[in-house]
Structure formats: C-alpha cells, structure tokens
Amino acid sequence: MDYTTKSCREFVTVLASNEPAPGGGGASALVAAVGTALGNMVGSLTVGKKKYADVEAEIIALQKKCDALQAELLDQVPADAEGFVPLARAYGIPKDDPDRPRIMEEATITACQVPMHIMELCCEAIDAIEVFAEKGSRLAVSDAGCGAVIVKAALQAASLNVFINTKTLQNRTLAEEMNAKCLEMLDTYGKKADGIFETVKAGFFK
C-alpha cells in the first residue's frame, strides 16, 4: 500500500505499529520530500520579485528539478516497502533449506537498493537547497536552512537502512562497495548541509 496517499496521522500511526512497512527507509524518503519542498518554497517566494529578477530563470529551472525530486522521493515510500518484502519472506524460509542462503543474499541486495537511491536523491536535494539558500528570497532563507537540516537527517537515516543489510551480505566485496558509496555521500553532503545551516544561522546574527 502507498501510505503517501494517507493522512499524516495515518502514516505515523502505521509507522508506529508492528507492520513491517513503512519503516526507516520509507520514513527517510518522506522526510526528504518534506525537506526538498521547504527549499522549493523559497523558490516560490523568489520568483516574480523584482529584486531577484536576475536569478529568476535559474530559480524556475531549479524548482522544476525539485518538483521531480519531491515526486520521486515520495515514490520511494512504497518502493522501499516492496523492496523489503523479499527479505521478509526469506527470513521465513527454513534454515535447513539449501536455497535459503542464495535467496537471502539476493533479497538483502534488493533491500539495499531503495535506501541507496533515497540517499542519492537527498544529495541532489541538498545541492538544490544550497542554491535556494544562496540566491533565493532573504525573507524565506530560514526555510532553506530548515530544508538542509531535514534532508541531511533523511540522508543519514537512509544510510542506516543500507548498513544494516550490507552487514549480513556474504559478498563482502559488494558490501564494501556499497558501504563506501554511502559513506562518501554522508561525508560530502553531510558537510554541505551543515554548511548551509551554519551560513543561514550566521546571517541572523550580523
């Protein structure tokens, strides 16, 4: 079920229940979409203002990109649930079944794919928010800062949904490759998000 079509209250209620999905991956995707939308809002409050006429075309193009990012992030909520289903089923296979190791391995790899993609989308969102924070309306710059913080949290949360699965992979080469990619995104974009926050915050004390 696509819980993004439900109310916020319904989503949180299901998230808190013993249902296997949505879980950390789906929550990360939803949070990232919210953070991206906050950055996008800065764009909406910038376009049409004479003061920002020189950056209007760039902001409009960035808004279109963020519209697509928001939609894709929301799509990852049901995608993450679907990606977890094979692994949930694999855990139910009797341990003496000779096919269990192979099925578990394949299902674990599948379960890593969506949260890794969520991380990639978060990186794109942080790049966009950086521009909104730098060039968008000063009256809404706090929202760009909020967006950066929120998307960074989603980036970090999604990474844990990868690491819990790479830990059990038998193919350690693949596991280390995925871990390295995630760690690089965390380092590069975690720092970038922190930089946006600190710049926005500093502007209020000048």
Domain boundaries defined on the chain: 22-203
Q: What is the pLDDT of residues 114-128, one digit of tens each?
A: 999 999 999 999 999
Q: What is the pLDDT of residues 123-168, one digit of tens each?
A: 999 999 999 999 999 999 999 999 999 999 999 999 999 999 999 9
Topology of the domain covering 22-203: Four Helix Bundle (Hemerythrin (Met), subunit A) (1.20.120)
Mean pLDDT, residues 41-49: 97
Q: Contact 169/179 with Cβ under 8 angstroms?
A: no
CA distances from 31 to 70, 98, 147 (A): 10, 40, 10
Of the candidates 34, 27, 68, 12, the one whose C-alpha atom is nearest the C-alpha of residue 148 is: 34
- Phi, psi (deg, nearest 5) at residue 132: -60, -40
- Grade residue 21 by pLDDT with cuts at 50, 70 and 90: confident
